[in-house]
Structure 1
């Protein structure tokens, strides 16, 4: 049995201390306050709620507190309780017991209509418009429903509904994502919301009035810098209207509107000129309206606002922390949706990857289990001809090897293209076999069936290989799309702006002989990752048929590159499709140039294509990658060539018809490029075609010729920002 030991401690009176600790722990467990509610967002929303609850128009209309409480709580129980307590406390302090009781009753009606009433499901704006009059009915009843009180009640309900719509737009549109061409309602709602806060702040009187004036000017300058003169003038007019309600005169609506418009005109020159334009407008109009006596005060208030405006980049995160009710909920919701979308896309990508692996495993298993065609041929012939022959034992048991060799010889003759009537077989076979004619016909029939079956199996394997390539490529695209969704559109756009090179292009073509259509095809496009692709293809033969083949190959490459497929998957897909599209021999060359304008790099993908040339500082470099054209072999070996671009580098791509111009001197184009000092791409392309006609010694070219010239130019930082 295990031994138990005990330790005797000295007597200590700790009962009361433990009881106090247990009581505190019990209280802390009961409070269980949500951590998300203790934040700067809650503090900012509470401050705005207190100001809006205290705001009274004409000394009697106070609908804004209930409307903001209904929107800011976002249906969360703890926010409803906390914000409701703040609103009721502010209502009791500013309006007394009757105002607080009316708001409390309105909150109860709102809760019943919003969360207890299932049908009909009313919009939030309508619920606020019904809850506010319901809460104020006892007050109207005490005044025996006087006409003036009923009119105020209706007007207050209308203002509550309008302010609810404004607050909903505020929470729906974070200021960091506002765009003047997309979010006019959001920008206007923000201006009205800030105007209501300034109006509530002005009711405190004294220094708060001057603070409100300074904040109004700061908001107008920020609108001028962010959105331009139009929205700045609108912000100045609205904020001036709210300032005029408090008794400073509606003339300030025109002053701030003009100042915002003038400041917005200086927006392209930066923040300092925007502030100077605003200061000039406000001081000059103040001098014109109120005389010299008002200029020092106006200049002081505007200068203080300008100081905060110029110091904006120093503490933007602190300002955002002090006012996080600027749409934190909308940003969080958008982040959740973006993360969920990225996860679902990644799941689909993994499914496609597994499907590609399954197809690949099936193909490998079938290759291992494939029975040799000769064994199946022997069994089929024996079953058809030799099964009931009297000489079966002699042929396939005693002389099995000689019979087998005779069959091999017959099959070899069939494979060489001989007719079945011309085949006689070896002497041993002719003397012994009693059914030699039936035997030869059976071998011929089985051989034809085996050939047809092998052809079908080969097509099936090619189709399965194409499906595997497509599924694997699609999986890779969706994985990259998932990463891009997580990064966000802003980061992707910022990454695509880093363009350090600009590419100019020139193209010239000439058809073979006197043909009207060139069999070559070319294209150039900009990919979604910022790279630029230049594609050149030469179809088999010449004329319209070759043109169709090369165009089909180029257009397919375009779509695959735009979809985001990797280079190897693009080449293998095009090669397989060219093989499957027609039973006849069908091939095309492929010459692809991918230019990375951000890092100044170029990558060549050459499949059966002619060499290209890179010219820089008078030196010419030949770039080639030996391989067969697309559509001939099942497996295409891709050997990309990467180079680093320098400023003013020229890349010349051409089809193989350029070497038919002077067969005795295949390097004539390289020598010609080294001797020329032409830099314009189109001029150089036309000159190469002109030299081809001269050197051929005949008016008609021997083959189609296409010349594509690219010129890389390094961008300075100012020009780069403007172009990108």
Structure 2
């Protein structure tokens, strides 16, 4: 029974505990928001800072903090200026009545002068430090003149000048620090200058606590050490030591007897930052060690036990500080993990927004493409009936409307008349303007104006043919636009996917490769891995300058090849111009296959301008394209057409658009841009350099051949030349090539060039099979020479032949067995 009761009560108690926990966290958040509202928005923080700065002194009698702080608040947060003035005056009263009067009077002088001269100044921010400088100097001189019974010495003038110079500098510092105290204008990250300015302002505020003691312990010592602890824990040794030096320096200027504090705070910031990996306890240990060392061996005016007590209180304050507050502060300090994560989050947000926008553009282009395509689809089925009705109305308007028998034809015999007219239009359209004898006899019996009706039908049918041709051109233009928009949509979609891929964190693999190479005896300064994807390895290394014996290519690349399990080569090496500098080397994956090409071409009759054009294009890291285009005819016009075809092909393929879409786009452009019957063929081979797979797209071109040992394979396709048909399907022939294959592509001047040959296929296969060399250039020259010999040395047509030899990519240096392939996983 007790167990049952416990099982019933326990879940409820857990739920109550979770609800209580949630309520407590929400209550803390509400309390934090209320405190931020009270202290930041209501100006309580500025009031407290003003009070402490009002009683802060430099060299025991200079007060350079009050006027710069009031002027900065007046310029940046004008509504809070009265509260700040009250705080500064109250702080000055704790020092002396004269100090309070000086602060109040100098602030009023600044307000009056700044207001009177505001119409003459263009930039208030730039002019503010100069107003503060002049106001401070003249106010201090007048105050000293009155205080010393209307006497003025050179020493007083020098002190006034020193204080005025300090106010000029402090104004610049406070102008950067005050916006950080605003709830509405918090920045996501701080610049180094802003961090230093904030530290100077905080240290200046702490000087207002000089002289405060409780139980013999100095408040300024406790608070300064607490400040150094917080920044050491947040920013590390660099920030901690900087805070220590700045705080100690300002304390030393305020009180010469506190000069030893600078060494104590700087040393504490350094040790605390170095030990920050031990969390708050490690930072606290750093301060404790610095206190013991400086207290025992330094020249201090404070007993060691008092220093230890002050340090202990600062450590307790550090542990009482909420971790959320420390994390919020760390997000603003450059170099911290929190700041890095914040920046990465911001970059991810920007990346996601960019990807979203690119995807939106991609969807817009795809929608436009679908809109053009759907318009043509639903328009196709409505033409025939509407065209017939339109022609019939025009014919009857010209003939039947003025005929005396129209009532008999269209009222009494509507069906028969309609059928005869429809048949006449169909025969006129199909028979090139002629009617069959039977239909002519029927039309003579039925109609009294046969000749006029026949002429009207012929005229309307002619108009119909012209309209259809125009509509077909418009429809082809729409299809071209639709295909281009679809291609752009696909390219933008792929681009969005590439943007979305984040750079992987390869820190572990970088350290493994670095250790492995150093264990081998190589001196490596730095390794940066950008990609370990198979076939797409990308590694950068920084090496000390060596004697130039090719260590990167001969040793490091072979070692990486064995470690990563694929061939790695040196893509680029940047040599240092200095003898003791560093070399920067980029290692990339080697291509599995390479292609050697040989090309032979000749113009008709041995001329200079050939109608054939050829191109070899390397597309990215994997694809290699070989293309031959033959313009119709010979000479300059044919050369222009074929060259333009290859130029458009190269531009479109390099943009990332798929091959079939690219060829259809080029065909549409060639067929629409000119009314002349100028055609061109295209023979395109796309070879993948990683697996040697090949795609052949032949548009009106001659067959290609692959020589594999004693075999000769023929590759052909039946597509008309580009520019003849406005719409056609591209047949793609896929073939798997192998290492050692010879790919032979040629124009019709080579394939159909041999004289007295009935079967060009058999003749070309026999000549290729008889070849004894594997050099691409020699093969191209031999085949062209053989064709020209059959013509007794004459060149009857433009000739072009491209021979490609597919080879395994054998690295110059083989992999060095290292036995640590499992390092990278």
CA distance in 2, matches of 1:366, 1:162: 68
Asked if the contact 1:660–1:702 (Cα under 8 Å) also holds between the matched residues in 2, the reply is: no
Q: Give 3-state SS (helix, strand or coil) of 2:615's partner.
A: strand
Mean alpha-carbon deviation: is it higher for 708-717 or for 422-431? 422-431
Q: Give 3-state SS (helix, strand or coil) of 2:372's partner.
A: helix
The equivalent of 1:555 in structure 2 is 647
Q: Map of 1:10-21 to 2, 5 A cutoff? A: none
Q: Map of 1:429-508 to 2, 5 A cutoff? A: 429-430=443-444, 433-487=447-501, 494=531, 498-500=589-591, 501-508=593-600
Asked if the contact 2:137–2:164 (Cα under 8 Å) also holds between the matched residues in 1, the reply is: no
Q: Deviations over 1:429-466 (max 9, x none)?
A: 45664323322321221121111111121112111212
CA distance in 1, matches of 2:787, 2:445: 68
The equivalent of 1:30 in structure 2 is 30
Change (3 A) 1:474 1:531: same
Q: Map of 1:247-646 to 2, 5 A cutoff? A: 323-324=336-337, 330-372=343-385, 373-392=387-406, 408=423, 412=427, 416-417=431-432, 426-430=440-444, 433-487=447-501, 494=531, 498-500=589-591, 501-528=593-620, 531-617=623-709, 619-646=711-738
Q: Give 3-state SS (helix, strand or coil) of 2:604's partner.
A: coil
Q: Give 3-state SS (helix, strand or coil) of 1:589's partner.
A: strand
Change (3 A) 1:133 1:521: farther
Mean alpha-carbon deviation: is it higher for 637-646 or for 471-480? 637-646
CA distance in 1, matches of 2:735, 2:477: 35
The equivalent of 2:768 in structure 1 is 673
Change (3 A) 1:151 1:399: closer
How far did residue 642 of structure 1 move?
Answer: 3.1
Q: Among residues 763, 782, 802, which one is paired with 1:687 in the alignment?
A: 782
CA distance in 1, matches of 2:168, 2:194: 26
Q: Deviations over 1:214-253 (max 9, x none)?
A: x9xxxxxxxxxxxxxxxxxxxxxxxxxxxxxxxxxxxxxx
How far did residue 684 of structure 1 move?
Answer: 3.0
How far did residue 148 of structure 1 move?
Answer: 5.5
CA distance in 2, matches of 1:616, 1:645: 9
The equivalent of 1:249 in structure 2 is none
Relative contact order, higher structure (CA 8 A, sep 6+): 1
Q: Among residues 746, 751, 765, which one is paired with 1:654 in the alignment?
A: 746
Q: Deviations over 1:481-514 (max 9, x none)?
A: 2223333699998576645144333322122345
How far did residue 360 of structure 1 move?
Answer: 1.9
Q: Map of 1:240-251 to 2, 5 A cutoff? A: none
- When the two structures are aligned, how many residues end up with a matched partner? 531
How far did residue 478 of structure 1 move?
Answer: 1.9
Asked if the contact 1:133–1:153 (Cα under 8 Å) also holds between the matched residues in 2, the reply is: no
Is the aligned partner of 1:701 residue 2:795?
Answer: yes
The equivalent of 1:283 in structure 2 is none
Asked if the contact 2:428–2:458 (Cα under 8 Å) also holds between the matched residues in 1, the reply is: no
Q: Deviations over 1:403-454 (max 9, x none)?
A: 955874686467555699x999734445664323322321221121111111
CA distance in 1, matches of 2:772, 2:79: 83
Change (3 A) 1:196 1:157: farther
The equivalent of 1:43 in structure 2 is none
Asked if the contact 2:670–2:722 (Cα under 8 Å) also holds between the matched residues in 1, the reply is: yes
How far did residue 205 of structure 1 move?
Answer: 8.0
Change (3 A) 1:154 1:523: same
TM-score for both structures, normalised by structure 1:
0.58
CA distance in 2, matches of 1:134, 1:715: 79
Asked if the contact 1:531–1:595 (Cα under 8 Å) also holds between the matched residues in 2, the reply is: yes
How far did residue 645 of structure 1 move?
Answer: 4.4
Asked if the contact 2:362–2:493 (Cα under 8 Å) also holds between the matched residues in 1, the reply is: yes
How far did residue 367 of structure 1 move?
Answer: 1.0
Asked if the contact 2:69–2:171 (Cα under 8 Å) also holds between the matched residues in 1, the reply is: no
CA distance in 1, matches of 2:649, 2:749: 22
CA distance in 1, matches of 2:161, 2:419: 118
CA distance in 2, matches of 1:126, 1:18: 58
CA distance in 2, matches of 1:499, 1:363: 48
Q: Give 3-state SS (helix, strand or coil) of 1:426's partner.
A: helix
Asked if the contact 1:499–1:720 (Cα under 8 Å) also holds between the matched residues in 2, the reply is: no
CA distance in 2, matches of 1:436, 1:620: 67
Change (3 A) 1:151 1:112: closer
Asked if the contact 1:171–1:329 (Cα under 8 Å) also holds between the matched residues in 2, the reply is: no
Q: Deviations over 1:148-179 (max 9, x none)?
A: 56667767889999999x9847999xxxxxxx
CA distance in 1, matches of 2:655, 2:733: 23
Change (3 A) 1:25 1:660: closer
CA distance in 1, matches of 2:447, 2:640: 55
CA distance in 1, matches of 2:631, 2:369: 31
Q: Deviations over 1:283-340 (max 9, x none)?
A: xxxxxxxxxxxxxxxxxxxxxxxxxxxxxxxxxxxxx998337755554444333322
TM-score for both structures, normalised by structure 2:
0.52
Change (3 A) 1:20 1:568: closer
Structure 1 portions without partners, runs of 5+: 1-8, 10-16, 35-76, 173-192, 216-319
Q: Map of 1:36-185 to 2, 5 A cutoff? A: 113=75, 145=159, 168=191
Change (3 A) 1:551 1:114: farther
Asked if the contact 2:704–2:745 (Cα under 8 Å) also holds between the matched residues in 1, the reply is: yes
Q: Deviations over 1:367-410 (max 9, x none)?
A: 12223444543443223112332344666665965995587468
Change (3 A) 1:615 1:407: same
Change (3 A) 1:534 1:22: closer
Asked if the contact 2:784–2:801 (Cα under 8 Å) also holds between the matched residues in 1, the reply is: yes
CA distance in 2, matches of 1:30, 1:98: 43
Q: Deviations over 1:520-541 (max 9, x none)?
A: 2222333357533332222223
